[in-house]
Amino acid sequence: MCLDVYRHDVRPKAGFEAVMTGAIQRGLSEDELLHEMSQMLDSLLAHFAAVEKSAATRRRWTDF
């Protein structure tokens, strides 16, 4: 299984599974689980988007 993040394959780590399992073990409802995991995935997307933007900026400046 891979996450497709801006053309990069990111192998899910044990941490993602641990967070999800912990949320389930806390007895969250399906709606609460969806909300919590959505926030975590949004944070991951924000991070990888910032990394990609930074790399693109560096590529532009080194193309000269």
The count of domains in the chain is 1
Cβ-contact 32, 22 below 8 angstroms: no
Provide the whole-model pTM.
0.58
pLDDT reported for residue 42: 93
Domain holding 25, by residue range, is 3-62
User: Is 70 exceeded by the pLDDT of residue 7?
Assistant: no
Quick check: 6 and 46 in contact, CB under 8 A? Answer: no
Rounded CA-CA distance 9/17 in Å is 17
> Residue 4, SS3?
strand
Give per-residue pLDDT as tens, 15-47.
788 888 898 899 999 999 999 999 988 998 999
